[in-house]
Amino acid sequence: MDRRNFLRGAAALGGVALTPPLISAVFSSDRKIARVAFVKTTDRAAGVNRAIDLLGMKSFGGRDLFIKPNFNSADPTPGSTHIDTLAALIDKLRQLNAGRMTLGDRSGMGRTREVLEARDVFRLAKDAHLETVVFDDLAASDWVPIKKADTHWQRGFALPKPVLNAGGIVQTCCLKTHRFGGHFTLSLKNSIGLAAKKVPDDSYNYMSELHSSPNQRRMIAEINAAYQPALIVLDGVDAFVTGGPDRGQQVNPQIILAGTDRIAIDAVGVALLRFYGTTPEVSKGKIFEQEQIARAVELGLGITGPDQIELITSDSDSADFGKKIRPLLNS
């Protein structure tokens, strides 16, 4: 959704705004503010609905949407997207007048088709009348090479045509750490599942390059420069504060986030991980100095600092928890 279509919401209390549903966000010309819906809940379906309502989105105007979940593996949430979160998101997008919806992913820890079958995604897609795309099955002609001189990717990377041709991209991610060099896997890292591991008829392994590079976290941010999300929903009802992306020490923040700014979503996600005690890598330095976030800021993918984040809530439990998380954004 175009940022200029947002309207300014109610006044903030210590950086946490308690607003009625359907109050929307503002991005003024002189100071960009990213509003992040912050909903405390154990009910994923209700939380997704409340979070999106808080953003004030009115309609997608019949645009075709591509939905990118997190099915890196077949492990239970937070190892992968919860089916209730995905179902609620699809229903809400339909209420907001989405056109044709397509869901797709590439699993990094398993065969994608088997992962989607194990997580009951094909059944959900059939019932919801969604198309599905298994990126492993795409032909060479279905991939678009993205090459930019100012990235750390030696040969660039490749993204699927069904994603790039969509009228909007919606992603839903999890809240967790990443023990294979990413440090955390939130909305920026979720975009790695859009990129090819290998393009058919080409033996080059893009993911081997990524995971062996000292610039891995910068490269994660660089993939995100290829597209602008229409909506991001982060399921933080459960989280991994160590290990990840498939398993680790689990906590239960009971939070659903929603927004359109990946930097803001990830900054709040890192603050939540720090609140519960997390890995040395995720705990080190200021949040906006974390390499994924810092590189995303350099690329102009969203806000540039924690003072530009406004947490919006509609109930006292969410507001009270938000007041605890707000100071951590500056740490």
Residues 61-95 pLDDT 10s: 999 999 999 999 999 999 999 999 999 999 999 99
Q: Which residue has the tokens 């930097």?
A: 263
Task: Give the H/E segment covering residue 88.
Answer: helix 83-95
CA pair distance 125, 51, nearest whole angstrom: 23
CA pair distance 185, 204, nearest whole angstrom: 24
Is the confidence at residue 277, as pLDDT, over 70?
A: yes
Q: How many domains does one find in the chain?
A: 1
- Structure tokens, 248: 């680790």
- Which residue(s) pair with 78 in the sheet? none
pLDDT of 1-20, one tens digit each?
Answer: 333 332 223 333 334 544 33
101 phi and psi, to 5 degrees?
-115, 135
Q: Has residue 116 been placed in a domain?
A: yes
What is the SS3 assignment for 206-247?
HHHHHHHCCCHHHHHHHHHHHCCCCEEEEEEEEEECCCCCCC
- Look up the pTM and report it: 0.91
* Residue 172 lies in domain: 61-255
pLDDT of 182-211, one tens digit each?
Answer: 999 999 999 999 999 999 999 999 999 999
Over residues 92-99, mean pLDDT = 98
Q: Has residue 48 been placed in a domain?
A: no
- Which residue(s) pair with 294 in the sheet? none
Any idea what the CATH number is for the domain that residue 123 is in? 3.40.50.11440
Q: Has residue 146 been placed in a domain?
A: yes
pLDDT for position 149: 84
Alpha helices, DSSP H, located in 96-165: 112-118, 121-127, 161-164
83 and 119 in contact (C-beta within 8 Å)?
A: yes
Q: Has residue 330 been placed in a domain?
A: no
pLDDT for position 21: 31
Q: Has residue 55 been placed in a domain?
A: no
Is the confidence at residue 44, as pLDDT, over 60?
A: yes
Q: Has residue 261 been placed in a domain?
A: no
Q: Has residue 172 been placed in a domain?
A: yes
Confidence class for position 148, pLDDT limits 50, 70, 90: confident
Strands 143-146 and 65-68, sheet pairing: unpaired
CA pair distance 75, 165, nearest whole angstrom: 30
Task: Give the H/E segment covering residue 316.
Answer: helix 316-325
pLDDT of 169-183, one tens digit each?
Answer: 999 999 999 999 999
* List of long-range contacts for 127-133, beta carbons under 8 Å, 24+ apart: 128/87, 128/90, 128/91, 128/94, 128/101, 130/67, 130/90, 130/101, 130/102, 130/103, 131/100, 131/101, 131/102, 131/103, 132/102, 132/103, 132/104, 133/102, 133/103, 133/104, 133/160, 133/162
234 and 257 in contact (C-beta within 8 Å)?
A: yes
pLDDT of 106-132, one tens digit each?
Answer: 999 999 999 999 999 999 999 999 999
CA pair distance 35, 312, nearest whole angstrom: 7
Q: Has residue 141 been placed in a domain?
A: yes
Where is pLDDT greater, at 191 or 31?
191
